[in-house]
Structure 1
Amino acid sequence: MSPEMSGDYAEELPPAPMVDITSRSAGAGMAANEAYDFSDDLAEDERAPQAVMAAPAKAVAKPVETPAPNDQAQQGQPGQDQQDTPDHGRQIVYTAGMQVSVYNLDEGMNKLEAMPEAYGGWVHMRGSNQVVLRVPARSLEAVMNAVGDMGVVEARSLQAQDVTAEYVDLESRIKVLRETQAQLLELLDQAKTVEEALHVRQALDDVTMELETALGRMRQLGDLIAFSTLTVTLVERGPMDNIPTSNDPFRWVDSLGVEATEWR
């Protein structure tokens, strides 16, 4: 072996095991010319490296199982959706109007007065041929259809007013005013002089008045949102009224009173 290679292999190869032949042969009483059996020594030398190599295998830690990126995204997705999903609920005030022509005005007015009670509403105002109804917002469409079945609908209108911004602003103002009111009550209890108590009392009265105004507007908005306003105007009609229908292809048919016979 060359000197260059001897230095490299000296660090890589372990030292060869030394076998003491003299001690074993003397203890066993072997003859000088008898051949020595190396099988037992080689068996011990082969078992020794296996024991040394098996020890580090127990200390090897198992690899940590980490979920895939898709699994992490799926695990975090429900919570993220629930948190980031905005609330699209709006506070809407609905105001509707209808003009319906009927043959019997008194009978139509009586029907209109009894109609809102079936839907959980009430009659807000009544005139000679006009009735203002307050009905739940969820039942407004059904009430308008029922009113339309009373006769011929000549005009219909529906207005939706979004008051969400004002509603949210009132909620914030009421919260702040209540907190301020509570703080002023604490200061009033801690006032040491009459002058301090008067100043705190004046500020407390102003805050209380503003709070009552905001609460009143909040109640008004809540009532307008929950119950829609429907104004119905009834117009009395007869056989001679010029109200053509889509069922009559000729205008002169209306003059015969066919429509009056049909509605009666």
Structure 2
Amino acid sequence: MQKRGFICIFVLSLALMLGACSSSSGNSASSKEAIGGAASDMESTSHSSSISGADTNSPAKEDTATAAKDPKQAASGFTDSENKAGADKKLIYKAELSMRVKDYTKVQTEIRNQVGQAGGYIVQFSENQNDQQLGGSFIVKIPAAGFTSFIDGVGKIKHESLDQNIEGQDVTEEYIDLESRLKAKLIMEERYTSFMKKATKTDELVKFANELGRIQEEIEQAKGRMRYIDNNVAYSTVTIHLFQREGTAGNVDSGKEDTPLMEQAGNALSGTLHVLSLFLQGLVVVLAGAFPILVVGPVLGWVIWRVRKGRAKRRAVTRDALRKDISGKAMVDADSNSVEDNNKDSDS
């Protein structure tokens, strides 16, 4: 019994010791977790404070402040910082402007001057004029570095209304893909060139030559596309539509009332001569078209008339002959009757 009691006491004491150890280890682990969490909180706090400190001096806020100070620059749609941010990328910028102006000729001259000052050039120009409206369209190429300033300069020109549409296209991925494909094609070109040098059979030489020609064609296509992208990245495209409001273009003719009398008479005479020349031209055209009929018709009519006249003459001669025959027979019959009567009388 004492032995059993001793064993129970030993087991209980061992259990108490194990429980105390486990609780102490749990407390130490929890303390370590608390310390680690506090450290992480401190790191996150310091990190957020550093980020907030960086934000206060970040270029984005500087750009926002600059845009707020210079609303005209922000109105163009692109700031200088955005252009700098895209310097490492292949970006193609396009803009389309539609302006309604009072003096079309003056504005057209100003735009030409601004294109020259920006270092650009005019690709296409078209103009349309009538009694109701006067307008024209420019398609110009402007260096990408001066794209924003050129748009702002055009917007400062005196106008009645202005519509802008600015678009940017990122072709960086396409350009990188073209570069990688070009490198691969150049390597293939070198290999096929070496194959052609080592080829001894005619069929192999022809096969290598055909494949080399195809590869070289793909190389030229890739280079052409890259040149196109480089040109459009270096020079932005700007399309400008100008038109003068209705009624302003008609003011050009408003001075006709003050025209001198002799000038008005000369204008009237020139108008009459112009109409007369048009009439004569039309008459010549009609006569030229009717010339075959005018020549052949009378000749044909004269032939028909002669034929009919000959027929009528022959009919008249025939009728006269018949009349003569009939009259001759009648006279013969009358003579014979008179002879018979005479004979009868003599007999009696």
- Same fold by TM (over 0.5)? yes
Structure 1: which 5+ residue stretches go unaligned?
1-86, 241-264
Partner of 1:200: 208
Match of 1:139 among 135, 146, 149: 146
Query: What CA deviation, in whole Å up to 9, does each residue of 1:139-175 have, x standing for no partner?
Result: 0111111111222342011101111110100000111
Aligned counterparts of 2:124 and 2:112: Cα–Cα separation in 1: 10
> Does the 8 Å CA contact 2:155/2:162 hold for their aligned counterparts?
no
Alpha-carbon RMSD across the aligned residues, in angstroms, is 2.1
Confirm whether residue 102 of structure 1 aligns to residue 101 of structure 2: yes
Query: C-alpha displacement at 1:238, in angstroms?
Result: 7.7
Map 1:82-101 → 2, pairs under 5 A:
89-101=88-100
Given the two structures, how large is their TM-score scaled by the length of structure 2?
0.42
Aligned counterparts of 1:179 and 1:211: Cα–Cα separation in 2: 11
Match of 2:229 among 208, 216, 221: 221
Match of 2:183 among 157, 167, 175: 175
Given the two structures, how large is their TM-score scaled by the length of structure 1?
0.55
Give secondary structure in 1 for the equivalent of 2:178.
helix
Would the alpha carbon gap of residues 172 and 122 (structure 1) be closer, same or farther in structure 2, given more than 3 Å must change? same
Give secondary structure in 2 for the equivalent of 1:120.
coil
Aligned counterparts of 1:149 and 1:111: Cα–Cα separation in 2: 11
Give secondary structure in 2 for the equivalent of 1:96.
strand
Map 1:113-128 → 2, pairs under 5 A:
113-128=112-127
Query: C-alpha displacement at 1:183, in angstroms?
Result: 0.8
Percent same amino acid among aligned pairs? 24
Give secondary structure in 1 for the equivalent of 2:142.
strand
Partner of 1:184: 192
How many corresponding residue pairs?
155
Partner of 1:232: 240
Alignment-mate amino acid for residue 164 of structure 1: T
Give secondary structure in 2 for the equivalent of 1:228.
strand
Alignment-mate amino acid for residue 130 of structure 1: S
> Does the 8 Å CA contact 2:93/2:237 hold for their aligned counterparts?
yes
> Does the 8 Å CA contact 1:124/1:133 hold for their aligned counterparts?
yes
Which structure features the higher share of helix residues? 2
Query: C-alpha displacement at 1:225, in angstroms?
Result: 0.8
Aligned counterparts of 1:239 and 1:139: Cα–Cα separation in 2: 36
Stretch moving more, 97-106 or 231-240: 231-240
Aligned counterparts of 2:205 and 2:117: Cα–Cα separation in 1: 55
Aligned counterparts of 2:223 and 2:102: Cα–Cα separation in 1: 46
Would the alpha carbon gap of residues 88 and 237 (structure 1) be closer, same or farther in structure 2, given more than 3 Å must change? closer
Query: What CA deviation, in whole Å up to 9, does each residue of 1:168-203 have, x standing for no partner?
Result: 000001111111101111111111111111010000
> Does the 8 Å CA contact 1:123/1:131 hold for their aligned counterparts?
yes
> Does the 8 Å CA contact 2:95/2:237 hold for their aligned counterparts?
yes
Aligned counterparts of 1:95 and 1:147: Cα–Cα separation in 2: 15
Give secondary structure in 2 for the equivalent of 1:127.
strand
Partner of 2:158: 151
